[in-house]
Structure formats: C-alpha cells, structure tokens
Structure 1
Amino acid sequence: MSENRKIARDIIDAIGGEENISSVAHCATRLRIMVNDKDKIDQDKVEQIDKVKGAFFNSGQYQVILGTGTVNKVYEEVEKLGIDGSSKSEQSKEAGKSGNFFQRAIRSLGDVFVPIIPVLVATGLFMGLRGLVLQEQILALFGLTPADISDNFILFTEILTDTAFIFLPALIAWSAFRVFGGTPIIGLVLGLMLVSPSLPNAWGVAGGGVDPLYFLGFIPVVGYQGSVLPAFFAGILGAKLERTIRKRVPDALDLIVTPFLTLLLMITVSLFIIGPIFHVVEDWILEGTLAVLGLPLGLGGLLIGLLHQIIVVTGVHHIFNLLEIQLLESFGENRFNAIITASIAAQGGAALAVGLKTKSKKLKALALPSSLSAFLGITEPAIFGVNLRYVKPFFMGIIGGAVGGFFASIFNLAGTGMAITVIPGTLLYLNGQILLYLLVNIIAIGVAFSLTWMFGYSDKNKLPESE
C-alpha cells in the first residue's frame, strides 16, 4: 500500500469509516469532509496520522490540513477507495446553512477565487521577472541600456503580464457559474462580453482619453477590464437565472433557449445595473484599503500585520483576494503582500521556536516542518498544529507580524503580484526591493521567535497528545 493511500485509509477510519462520510472535496492545503455524525470522529487519532498538520470543524466541514501537494495526492487516494468526491459547488450547498451571512458570503467569495489564483500568481511572477530583466543594472551586465530593448520584446512581456487582468471578468464569471451551479462556458462568454472591444476600454476611460457610453442620458457603460465585483455578482445571478430558465423550458428547446435567454438578460442587467453599481462599490473598497495602508507612521502595516492571521483563523481571509486584485489592477503593485507576508513569516518563527525549544521528539517532528511550511507561505500547519494549541506562541506570532508589518509599511514595500509570500514571495520583489523584503521577514521571524522562546512556550505546558 502506498504512503498516500495509507494516509487516506487512516483518515477515513479515524473519522468513523466510509459510512460516516457524506462527501469529500479539497482546497490548496485542506481535505474538506462533510460528515454525517461529528461524534464518531476520533480527533486524537486524526491528528496522529502521518502528514496531518491539524484538523478542525469550520464552515460546516471537517477540515484536515495536509499541505500543498500532499492534499491533492491524498484526495485522489480517497476517491480510489470509493468515497464520493464533490465539487466546491456541492459542498457549498451542504455547508451553506452554517455560519452567519458574512461568513457564508466570504466562503462563496473564496470558492470563486481559489481556482483562478494560480493564474494571478503566474502573472505576478511575470511582472517580477519583467521588472528584473528591465532594471538598468541588470541590462548593464550585458552591455545594454533600456533604449536597446526592442518594442517587440516589450509587447511580449505585456502579453504575459496584462492578459489575466484584461480578461479577469471572464475568469471570475466562469468560476462563479461553476460554483453556483450554472454552465461554466456560459459564464465565460458572459464575462468576455463584459470586456468586449466594442465597449469603451475601462483603463482608457479612467485615464480620461476615452468617454463612456451613456444610455438614457445618465447610465455610464464601459468595459470592465480588471474589475472583480461586477463579474462576481453577474456570475452568481447568471447561474441562478440559468437554472431557473432550464427548469421551465422543455427539454427539446433547452439547448437553444436557455443559453440565449441567460446571456441576453444577463448582459443587459450587467451593463446597465450590476456594472455601474458595483464599479462604484469597488472604488469605495479601494479607497478604504488605501486609507488603511496610508495611515501615518506605519500604523496601517502594524494594524494589518496584527490582525491578518487572526482573520485567517476565522476562515474569512479570502476577502483579501479582492483587495489585492484591486491594488494590482489599479497601481500595478501590491502593498498588502509585504505586510501579510510578515504576519505569515512570524507564525513560522513562533513554531520554529517551539520546535527548537521542546525536548519532545513528536512535537519537534510537528513544529519544525510546520515552520518550514509557513516560510513557504502556508501557515495552517503552524497555526492549528502548534501555535494555537499552545496559545501563547500564536500571540507571540501576532506581535511579530505587527512589527514586521510596521516596517513593511515604513519601507513602502510593494509586490508585483499576489498569493505567494515569504520565501516564494521573494520573486515579487526582484525590482530593487529584495533586500528590504528580506529584512522585514527577518524582523518578523526574529521578534516572534524571541518572544516565543522567552515567554511563549515551555515543556512544562506540553500537551499530553504530544508525548
């Protein structure tokens, strides 16, 4: 039996067997399981399984933290063992009654954005790479100057860095249709309509060189290149409209009538109602974000660095995806990234202190890999497996994140992309910021490590299950 199959088998047995599992899905780091009876779960047994970094209930799902890469392989083995997998859409419906309205809304936002984040990560890396190769110092190594770079090469780099944001509404509408039970290809076409070249270009309008179209003399109509909320809500409403139409249309006419009416009605509503309204909402959110980031004396970075990992614990941190996309789309840089990187690195520093200070071999085996995972940008193993279990290390990590965020704000650090942090995040700061970026992370890790070592952990408080 392969290692991953054994892990899958052990997880199934520890949560009460196949008969206690309703469905299984996964995200970037967690196996998300809908169970029939919570009381049948053996929590201690789950946490003792090899490669399991923690497990807990959130949003109506039992979530087992396995980490990037491992979760995909274990999920495949779970399916091979005969457990029914489910889409995020199906699990969202099952878990939909749990949590308050705000938590459900943020969960839906996350379900829509998670599948498109890899594309935005790649775009950010392309931006960082372009910033690196176009630096005068780098060009000078090859005897070149910026004037020597051909227009064709610049065009090639623009294709790499601009495409995802130009067609972002299409990606979001596609994902929203998928999550809310519509036909994804209809959502894709609806999103493409929102960025049709027949419409005034959004960036041209914002720059003042292009005028919007006005219907009825007061409704502005533009393309929505780089916008998030218009496509998000158009996707939700469109998916629900498609399902409603499909229920009422005879099967013989479904192929023709359903997509026709869905696209006709939705593009009309999107251009004349949803788009103008939520474009204004986006502006308000962006202004609010900039106001926090712009607080004097580094207070914005301190506040965000302090709160970020607390928000991660609540499970509503996907709201930051929206903020980061808006920053990148509007300014081509992301000041949020360096600040939250500090908070992530700090949790890794706290877990590292626990791992080096404890004499328990099992706790070392959990804490040290968890700290490495945090330094690679994934904090769930460190938070749920170590820091929150002992409480004080988590709060020491929060203090370290606040201090690191403060310095990130003071230094005006801004990444060229999003969704990668700490060590992988260095690729977003190759445009002359790399040394300050490393300094901020070292400060955050150092503060959290020192405080945890001195005040945050002692083997006197070691939990029995870590023996």
Structure 2
Amino acid sequence: MASKEYKKIASEILEAVGGSDNIISMAHCATRLRLVVRDRDIIDDEKIEATDQVKGFFFTSGQYQIILGTGIVNRVYEAMEEIGVSATSKYELKEEASQQEGSKLKRLIRVFGDVFVPIIPALVATGLFMGMRGLITQPQMLSIFGLTPEDISQNFITFTEVLTDTAFAFLPVLVCWSAFKVFGGSPLLGILLGLMLVHPSLPTAWEVAEGTGDPLVFFGFIEVSGYQGSVLPAFIMGFLGAHIEKRLRRVIPPTFDLIITPFLSLLLMIFLAFFIVGPIFHGIEILMLSGVEFILGLPLGIGGFLYGALNQIIVVTGIHHALNLIEIQLLADTGWNPINPIGSASICAQAGAALAVAIKTKQAKIKAIAYPSTVSALLGITEPAIFGVNLRFMKPFLMGLVGGGVGGFLATILQLKGTGMSITAIPGILLYLNDQILLYLLVCSVGFAVAFLLTWLFGYKDGMLSK
C-alpha cells in the first residue's frame, strides 16, 4: 500500500493532468510515468513541474511522460492505481487511443519496451553474477589466496553456472510470460509455451549452431531445435498466443472453457512456433544481429562513434527499450555485450555536459537541478540531465552527443564488451570485473571529459534561451 507521501504526489499529478477522465491508459518504465491522454492542452505543466519528486516532463506520440526516477516511479504508479487510475493495457484500447498514440512504428516500439522492461531485473542480476564470477575466477585474484583456476572445484563451477546461465537458457519462458501479460493472455499459458520452446527433449539451439547436435526434421525440410536464448520468436509467439487464447474464449462455451481453451491454445501455438514462426523469425533475428554487428564492426571505430553519438537521441524518443532485444540476443549468443560500454560512454557524456552547466551557471535554480541530474546520470539514469538541463539549452545536449560518440569510438577500438546489460555508467563497473575494468573506466571518463570541456567552452552561458 502506497504511503501518504506518494498518494499526495499521485493526487497532485492526477489533478494537474485533468483528472482520470483525461487518462486513457497508464504505464511506467524504469524512470517515467507514462500517461496516454485524451487532451494534451488541459494539462497544467507548471503544476506538474512543481510537484514533489518530479524531475521533468515531456509529451511525445500521445504520451505525457513524467520523469520521477528509479524506485520513485514504481511507488507513484502504485499510488495512482490506488486512487482509481486504471492501468488499462493500451493494446486493447478503442480507436481514440490508437489515434492519440502516434504512428504504428512508435506503438510497436513501445510494445517492445512494455514486454522487455519487466524481465530486465532478472537479466541485471544475471549480469552481476557473471561479473562476480569473472572477478572471483581471475588468476590475479586467486593468486592473492595462493590458488590457481585449476584449484576451483567443479561443484563451485556448476553452482556459478546455475546463477549465470539460467536466465538465458530459459529466456523464451520470460519473454512469453511477459508478452502474454502485456497482450491480455493468461501468463501461466505463456510460461508453459516458453517451457515447450526449450524442452530438454529438443536439441538445443547452441548444439545445432556449434554442429554438435542435429535438428529434428519434419516433412522432409522443416528443421526444428530448441529456442534457448531466442528472443524474437518467443516475442511473436507471446503476441499470437495471447490473441489465440482470447479468440478461443469468445467462442468456446463457459462450461468447456477450462478444458478446451488451454488445450487448443497450446496445440495451435506449439504448431505455429515449431513449423512457421520459429524458423522464419529466428532467421530474421540472425539478420538483425548481423546488422548491428556490421555497424559496430565498421572500420576505424566508425560504428562505435555513430552509435555512441545517437544513443541519447534514441533515449529522447523513448524507443531505447527496443534495443534491449538486440542486447539480450547478443548476450544469449556470445555471452558478451559490446553495446553496453558504448551506451555507458554516452550516458557519462550527458553527465559531463550537465556538470559543466552546473558549475558555470550563476543561477541557483539551474544549479539545484543540474547537480542532482549529474549524479543521476552517473548512476545510469540520464532523463533528469537531458530533459531538466541539457535539452533545455540544446547546446549542452549536442556536446554530450559528441562526447558519447568519442567514447563509443574508443570502446569499439578497444573491443570492450560487458558481461551483462541494463546497468551502465558507475554501476556498470560490475559488468567489467575482469581485465577490462580499467578500459571501461577510461572510456566512460573520456566521454565525460569531452562533453564537459565542449560544454564549458562552447555549450553554455547564462542568458541562453531555454528550449
């Protein structure tokens, strides 16, 4: 149950946005409360900005997004539900909501965010376990205790493999569960479908890829293997499965619903998964990964520079959660994440730009926003720095993009790769507890320093027009 403090914040937000009648649907990500509204014009922006814990706001594609910060947004969201705001799934809204939410592409990208954000904590924990194992098993670390890697018992190795491999081995289970939940199906059926996709009777995707196992062949030409670590087929099956279940419930009499609906749903879903969706979308998945790897592999660090420079623009558009799919797949396939250090460099660059503004300005109000925003960005959350400081004056944001590009360039040249995802900047150090840690610190420091210096010299002066 939400505390009085958060109920007060929720009530003030509700009043400022024009009451519950103006809210079509409500959701949240790691830092922002996302409201799909009917009438943008009746929202009192000044009241929103004056509300306690609110660090900024913006409006895009029918969504009024209020920046609250990690942890706080969850509590405010719960308080909003308790005072009567419905968190209706926006994929079941009427025509009015569809028109408000912008283009089909932007709606699709938000779908990716809503499906993947709930499973990120599990992947974050797995990444931390990987980092800890990397630290503990480093020869240099073991030598402190007079040990070598050969001294580590097989039981301990097995224990660490349970911690580090489970989430990715059963990734389709997590994706199907979340997708069923988002699209209005029964999450339990989603879990069962995901488990079928990785059933131990099937040759694993890794065995087939490595040539140590043969796929099952149906009808003489359809090759079937398990979908361990596969993301896109599980996402598509979650979408289709939820809709199949809902359609069946409409036509099957209530008397037989408990027996017939799960039976037919799973039968149709597993047929589609093995013989149609899986083979097609697994191929698409491979092409997508090849595209990202191509960009990152452009010579002379060009790919890293481009991604590092564009990363925070993607955050501004609100579509950055769609990139989770690519990072998850890279980790599942290779055990490494080359995107994370580039993203960390771009985040630290926005922190550097915000700090330059904080030090250079003589306006107390700007300092009061810029200093905490810098700290927030260094902890991996850039929205306060971007929307509260850098984008308001535009040039600091642009200087941050340059810093991110330079840091991304350096990360690519040094072939830096994380062991997990979703934690960046200072917390991201935990993904590099191996011989990469000094390189990671160098990359983040360069991104920060370049943006700071450019903003200090060219990017800000008091009296600039805010955006």
Corresponding position: 1:331 with 2:334: yes
- 8 A contact 1:4–1:77 mirrored in 2: yes
Amino acid at match of 2:214: D
Is this contact kept in 1: 2:419–2:431, CA < 8 A? yes
Alpha-carbon shift at residue 62 of structure 1 (Å): 1.2
2:134 is aligned with 1:131: yes
Q: Given the superposition, is the C-alpha separation of residues 20 and 92 from structure 1 closer, same or farther in structure 2, using an over 3 Å criterion?
A: closer
Gaps (5+ residues) in structure 1?
none
Distance 1:278 1:384, change over 3 A: same
Using the TM superposition, name which of 169-178 and 44-53 deviates more: 44-53
Residue 172 of structure 2, aligned match among 151, 169, 174: 169
Q: What are the equivalent positions in structure 2 for 1:7-22 lying under 5 Å apart?
A: 7-22=9-24
Aligned-pair distance for 1:353?
1.1
Partner in structure 2 of residue 44 of structure 1:
46
Secondary structure at 2:392's aligned position in 1?
A: helix
* Corresponding residue of 2:122: 119
Equivalent positions of 1:210-229 (< 5 A) are: 210-229=213-232
Select 2:195's aligned residue among 192, 197, 200: 192
Equivalent residues of 1:227, 1:279 under 8 A apart: yes
| Contact 2:349-2:403 within 8 A present in 1 as well | yes
What is aligned with 2:389? 386
TM superposition score normalised by structure 2: 0.96
Cα contact 1:190–1:263 (8 A) shared by 2 = yes
What amino acid is aligned across from residue 243 of structure 2 in structure 1?
K
Q: Which residue of 2 aligns with 1:144?
A: 147
Deviation digits for residues 139-187 of structure 1, max 9, x if unmatched?
A: 1111111111000000000000100011000111111111111111101
Q: Is the 8 A contact 1:92 1:108 kept in 2?
A: no
SS at the partner of 1:318?
Answer: helix
Cα gap change, 1:391/1:130 in structure 2, threshold over 3 Å: closer, same or farther?
same
- What is the CA-CA distance between 1:91 and the residue it aligns to? 7.1
Q: Distance in 1 between matches of 2:395 and 2:168?
A: 41
Other-structure match for 1:363: 366
Counterpart in the other structure of 2:314: 311
Distance 2:175 2:229 in 1: 10
Which residue in 2 is equivalent to 1:204? 207
Give the aligned partner of residue 457 of structure 1.
460
Q: Alignment partner of 2:423: what SS?
A: coil
Please identify runs of 4+ aligned residues in structure 1 that moved more than 6 A.
91-94
SS of corresponding position for 1:24: strand
Residue correspondence of structure 1 range 18-417 to structure 2 within 5 A? 18-87=20-89, 95-97=97-99, 98-417=101-420
- Cα RMSD (Å): 1.8
Q: What is the CA deviation profile of residues 398-426 of structure 1, one whole-angstrom value per residue up to 9, with x for unaligned ones?
A: 00000010111111110000011001100
- Displacement, 1:431? 1.0
**C-alpha separation in 2, matches of 1:289 and 1:444:** 22
Q: CA–CA distance in 2 between the matches of 1:165 and 1:94?
A: 39
Determine the C-alpha separation between the residues in 1 that align with 2:134 and 2:67: 35
Letter matched to residue 224 of structure 1: Y
Deviations 1:238-285 (A, max 9, x none): 111111111000000111111100000110110011111111111111
Alpha-carbon distance in 1 for matches of 2:219, 2:420: 39
AA at the equivalent of 2:145: F
Distance 1:128 1:264 in 2: 40
In 2, the alpha carbon distance for the partners of 1:362 and 1:321 equals 35
Q: Distance in 1 between matches of 2:205 and 2:418?
A: 23
TM-aligned CA deviation for residue 389 of structure 1:
1.2
What residue ranges of structure 2 are gaps of 5+ in the alignment?
Answer: none
What fraction of aligned residue pairs are identical, expressed as a percent? 63
The answer to whether the Cα contact below 8 Å between 1:22 and 1:35 also exists between their aligned partners in 2 is: yes
1:307, CA displacement in angstroms? 0.9
